């Protein structure tokens, strides 16, 4: 068995290089094909009819007129008579027609008779109202230590209220698919974070064996946790295809439906109390939180609060899940972490403000309560240095004389990121070509690129010598891309598979080099006797010695046995520097310093992009994004991109990333990085605004009206 461990940091030739993303040219030139771009012979276009009511029972669905509309080939009823609709946007029926416009015309002719049911609830910010409506489900109090005594004996007690609304994933490529199902086989052009799992899910829904579903996906336009399942619309599209004699059906959600039902992140509202000693040591935590993830309510693990500072000795945690008639929550990049980081870090900075203590000192004082005190202490200091904290920080509310006030604030993160189970097959062809196959997927994180780099490193080749095949469930099974588990999983399986294949090649060329196979190495496009370039053979000539049959070898990552290749557990700290115009309420990001703990970094360029993109997402969440539900109609009022706002290129200030690439981190192996940097930003920005204007803006996003209202309250 070859030795799989990563080459020493200074011995790596391809790994660790900031190489360009291998699919960059395809993406930049518009050649990259996404699910929405797929065109198949005889393809039909699908459209959905969704329910406009948040709570209703379907009495009847009349599709007769729709069926007779020009171009219509099939109509599928998804929510038949008797179905109880629990949120607006629920799929009721679907049509497949020759053109998209014809499908939409036909959808408008479907007549649905609804019995509108009373008692919908779509807003959860008011806990009392939810309780009165009997929609609140307490998770039960969790107590550790003796919080009552700790609060009684505390030198300082601080209290605060905070709220962070539901956000939509708002992937730019909508959910949907092109699907052809003839009743036997299904061909499924998906947009997914899980080419294997989504095929299995579809097979289950269609009640066919999983190997009858062929999933394909070259590129996908964003998932962020929302694209794992085959979904109701996927099954409807398959049924439409079957009803139309197996013709492929293309059905993707329109923007309103995408925002309404294709994924969101739960809200969290909370009242938090902290007890501390005079020196800033926190002695107790008490939180009463509530939030919604849709009809199911949505939970919060008590173990997650207080966030990162989990070892605060005395705590009382209460969480209440609120069931609302809204599209259901899905995993959202670091599920629950950004919200809980915000609640925790905001409460800590409010405590510091009350004590007139520098919050950086307060955080440092309490890193003892984290799982990794040295790491967090170092990161806090590093981030502080990046924003010149010692010069630029001022006590809360002392942000200068003019109307524009400047402030700094801290946010903190933790994440796991252990590589998932993954299998990889490497094939070396007699003409020297190398193919690496995995049923994985690249969400835009750079997965395809890092697989190239690991393979090239192991085989002593260049990235351009390797062909990586992913995005097809017929390749060896690899895990879903969730939880930042992909990079660890695919890098470890690729490492093993390529070295296993290389070992076979060594055996073939060993006689020609007059050395045993285990004395050979692959370097710079040659196979040579270890440390002796004089005794070598070019890669292509070595491969010729195989004769006609290629070499093929598998490699597998087993989460339970990482073999030193992968690890989990990273921390992160971000400090935001903002300016707030107290006359207009507009918050401007000056800078965000991002310090991210990491393991072995395979590609610093794409790793940095993950940190930058995640931080920009936090800016969106802190300042702009919010799902706004109408109490009366129960509908998502801003389910478009005009009023469901994302940050633009001008709104992000300057972002400086510090990835701690150092031997002691590198030695841990590869750790996922997609999620952790999305966690601290919201807390950091909220704290920076409070520092600038002297008062907490309790509800996010910090829109101008909320900033101005907070300032009014302060004056009052």
- Residues near ligand FES, by CB under 6 A: 172, 222, 444
Among 2, 4, 52, 667, indicate the residue that binds another protein (CB under 8 A).
52
Residue 142 or 709: the one with the smaller Cβ distance to another protein is: 709
Shortest Cβ 24–another protein spacing (Å): 4
Shortest Cβ 381–another protein spacing (Å): 24
* DSSP per-residue letters across 535-584: EEEEHHHHHHTTTTSPEEEEEEE-TT--TTTB---EEEEEEEEEEEETTT
Which range, of 28-36, 342-350, 402-410, 660-668, touches another protein by CB under 8 A?
Answer: 28-36
For position 106 contacting another protein by CB under 8 A, the verdict is no
For position 652 contacting another protein by CB under 8 A, the verdict is yes
Rounded to the nearest 10 degrees, the angle between the axes of helix 195-206 and helix 231-243 is 60
Residue 539 or 636: the one with the smaller Cβ distance to another protein is: 636
What does 23 bind: another protein, ligand FES, none (CB cut-off 5 to 8 Å by kind)? another protein
What does 705 bind: ligand FES, another protein, none (CB cut-off 5 to 8 Å by kind)? another protein
Short-list 636, 628, 627, 642, CA closest to 52: 636
Shortest Cβ 608–another protein spacing (Å): 8
Q: Which two tokens stand for residue 411?
A: 């946010």
Q: In this structure, how many other beta carbons lie within 10 angstroms of the beta carbon of residue 70? A: 10
Shortest Cβ 191–another protein spacing (Å): 9
Integer Cα distance of 633 and 538 in angstroms: 71
Residue 20 or 141: the one with the smaller Cβ distance to ligand FES is: 20
DSSP state of 682: H
Helix then strand count (H, E) for the chain reads 19, 29
Residue 222 or 299: the one with the smaller Cβ distance to ligand FES is: 222
For position 125 contacting another protein by CB under 8 A, the verdict is no
Residue 298 or 681: the one with the smaller Cβ distance to another protein is: 681
Among 222, 313, 550, 667, indicate the residue that binds another protein (CB under 8 A).
222
Residue with tokens 């107290």: 582
Which range, of 457-465, 505-513, 548-556, 634-642, touches another protein by CB under 8 A?
Answer: 634-642
C-beta of residue 91 within 8 angstroms of C-beta of residue 50: yes
Short-list 433, 428, 470, CA closest to 451: 470
Q: In this structure, how many other beta carbons lie within 10 angstroms of the beta carbon of residue 549? A: 8
Short-list 347, 290, 352, CA closest to 166: 290
What does 201 bind: ligand FES, another protein, none (CB cut-off 5 to 8 Å by kind)? none
H or E segment at 316? strand 314-322
Task: Provide the residue count of the chain.
Answer: 716
What is the Rg, in whole angstroms, of the alpha carbon atoms belonging to the chain? 28
Short-list 319, 331, 292, 299, CA closest to 86: 292
Shortest Cβ 27–ligand FES spacing (Å): 8
Among 413, 620, 673, 693, indicate the residue that binds another protein (CB under 8 A).
620
The residues near 709 (Cβ < 8 Å, ≥ 6 apart) are: none
**Residue 511, CB half-sphere, CA atoms under 13 Å: how many?**
3
Residues numbered 561 to 600 that lie near another protein (CB under 8 A) are: 584-587
Residues numbered 689 to 708 that lie near another protein (CB under 8 A) are: 701, 703-705, 708
Among 207, 391, 642, 664, indicate the residue that binds another protein (CB under 8 A).
642
Q: Which residue is nearest to ligand FES (CB)?
A: 172
Three-state secondary-structure class, residue 169: coil
Residue 97 or 501: the one with the smaller Cβ distance to another protein is: 97
Residue 52 or 222: the one with the smaller Cβ distance to ligand FES is: 222
Residue 99 or 518: the one with the smaller Cβ distance to another protein is: 99
Shortest Cβ 654–ligand FES spacing (Å): 19
Residue 117 or 709: the one with the smaller Cβ distance to another protein is: 709
For position 20 contacting another protein by CB under 8 A, the verdict is yes
What does 454 bind: ligand FES, another protein, none (CB cut-off 5 to 8 Å by kind)? none
For position 30 contacting another protein by CB under 8 A, the verdict is yes
Which range, of 19-27, 129-137, 236-244, 309-317, touches another protein by CB under 8 A?
Answer: 19-27
Shortest Cβ 96–another protein spacing (Å): 14
What does 549 bind: ligand FES, another protein, none (CB cut-off 5 to 8 Å by kind)? none
Short-list 699, 662, 672, 654, CA closest to 569: 672
Shortest Cβ 253–ligand FES spacing (Å): 14
C-beta of residue 654 within 8 angstroms of C-beta of residue 319: no
Shortest Cβ 343–another protein spacing (Å): 22
C-beta of residue 586 within 8 angstroms of C-beta of residue 580: yes
DSSP state of 251: E
Shortest Cβ 88–another protein spacing (Å): 10
Shortest Cβ 703–ligand FES spacing (Å): 23
What does 74 bind: another protein, ligand FES, none (CB cut-off 5 to 8 Å by kind)? none
The residues near 117 (Cβ < 8 Å, ≥ 6 apart) are: 55, 56, 57, 84
H or E segment at 204? helix 195-206
Integer Cα distance of 329 and 264 in angstroms: 5
CA 543 vs CA 205, 323, 417, 455: distances in Å: 45, 62, 37, 16
Among 352, 438, 551, 623, indicate the residue that binds another protein (CB under 8 A).
623
What does 605 bind: another protein, ligand FES, none (CB cut-off 5 to 8 Å by kind)? another protein
Cis peptide before 701 (omega within 30 of 0): yes
Residue 174 or 293: the one with the smaller Cβ distance to ligand FES is: 174
Among 546, 629, 655, 695, indicate the residue that binds another protein (CB under 8 A).
655
């Amino acid at each position: 068995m070859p030795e799989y461990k990563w080459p020493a940091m200074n011995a790596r030739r391809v790994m660790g290089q900031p190489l360009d993303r291998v699919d960059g040219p395809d993406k930049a030139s518009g050649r990259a094909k996404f699910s929405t771009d797929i065109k198949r012979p005889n393809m039909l276009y699908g459209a959905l009819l969704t329910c406009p009511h948040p709570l209703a029972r379907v009495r009847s669905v009349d599709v007769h007129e729709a069926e007779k509309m020009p171009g219509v080939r099939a109509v599928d009823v998804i929510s038949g008579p008797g179905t109880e609709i629990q949120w607006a946007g629920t799929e009721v029926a679907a049509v497949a027609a020759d053109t998209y416009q014809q499908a939409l015309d036909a959808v408008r002719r479907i007549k649905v008779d609804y019995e509108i049911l009373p008692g919908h609830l779509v807003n959860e910010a008011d806990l009392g109202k939810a309780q009165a409506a009997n929609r609140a489900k307490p998770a039960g109090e969790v107590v550790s230590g003796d919080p009552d005594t700790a609060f009684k004996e505390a030198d300082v007690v601080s209290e605060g209220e905070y709220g962070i609304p539901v956000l939509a994933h708002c992937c730019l490529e909508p959910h949907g698919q092109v699907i052809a199902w003839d009743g036997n086989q299904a061909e499924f052009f998906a947009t997914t974070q899980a080419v294997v799992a989504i095929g299995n899910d579809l097979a289950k829904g269609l009640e066919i064996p999983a190997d009858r579903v062929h999933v394909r996906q070259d590129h996908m336009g964003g998932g962020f946790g929302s694209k794992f399942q085959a979904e109701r619309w996927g099954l409807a599209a398959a049924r439409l295809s079957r009803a139309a004699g197996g013709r492929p059906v293309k059905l993707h959600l329109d923007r309103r439906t995408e925002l309404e039902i294709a994924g969101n992140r739960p809200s969290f509202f909370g009242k938090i109390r902290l007890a501390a000693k005079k020196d800033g040591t926190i002695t107790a935590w008490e939180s009463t939180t509530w939030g919604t993830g849709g009809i199911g309510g949505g939970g919060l693990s008590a173990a997650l609060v207080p966030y990162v500072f989990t070892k605060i000795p005395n705590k009382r945690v209460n969480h209440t899940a609120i069931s609302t008639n809204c599209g259901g929550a899905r995993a959202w990049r670091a599920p629950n972490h950004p919200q809980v980081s915000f609640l925790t870090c905001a409460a800590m900075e409010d405590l510091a403000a009350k004590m007139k203590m520098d919050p950086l000192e307060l955080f440092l004082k309490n890193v003892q309560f984290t799982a990794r005190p040295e790491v967090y202490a170092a990161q806090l200091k590093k981030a502080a240095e990046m924003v010149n904290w010692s010069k630029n920080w001022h006590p809360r509310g002392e942000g200068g004389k003019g109307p524009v006030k400047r402030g700094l604030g801290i946010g903190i993160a933790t994440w796991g990121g252990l590589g998932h189970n993954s299998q990889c097959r490497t094939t070396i062809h007699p003409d020297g070509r190398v193919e690496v196959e995995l049923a994985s997927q690249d969400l835009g994180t750079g997965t395809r690129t890092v697989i190239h780099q690991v393979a090239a490193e192991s085989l002593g080749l260049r990235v351009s010598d390797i062909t990586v095949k992913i995005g097809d469930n017929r390749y060896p099974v690899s895990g879903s891309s969730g939880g930042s588990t992909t990079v660890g999983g695919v890098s470890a399986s690729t490492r093993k598979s390529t070295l296993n294949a290389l070992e076979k090649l060594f055996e073939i060329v060993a006689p020609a080099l007059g050395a045993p196979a285990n004395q050979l190495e692959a370097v710079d496009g040659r196979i040579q006797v270890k440390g002796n370039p004089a005794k070598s053979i070019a890669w292509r000539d070595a491969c010729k010695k195989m004769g006609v049959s290629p070499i093929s070898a598998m490699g597998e990552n087993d989460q339970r046995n990482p073999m030193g290749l992968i690890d989990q557990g990273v921390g992160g700290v971000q400090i935001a520097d903002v300016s707030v115009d107290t006359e207009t309420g507009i918050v401007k990001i000056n800078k965000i310093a991002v310090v991210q703990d990491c393991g072995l970094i395979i590609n610093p360029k794409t790793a940095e992009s993950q940190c930058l993109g995640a931080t920009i997402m936090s800016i969106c969440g802190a300042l702009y994004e919010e799902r706004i539900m109408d109490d009366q109609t129960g509908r998502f009022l801003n389910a478009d991109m005009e009023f469901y706002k994302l940050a633009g290129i001008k709104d992000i200030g300057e972002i400086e990333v510090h990835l701690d690439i150092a031997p002691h981190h590198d030695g841990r192996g590869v750790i996922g990085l997609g999620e952790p940097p999305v966690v601290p930003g919201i807390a950091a920005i909220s704290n920076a605004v409070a520092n600038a204007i002297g008062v907490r803006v309790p509800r996010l996003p910090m829109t101008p009206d909320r900033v101005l209202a907070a300032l009014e309250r302060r004056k009052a």
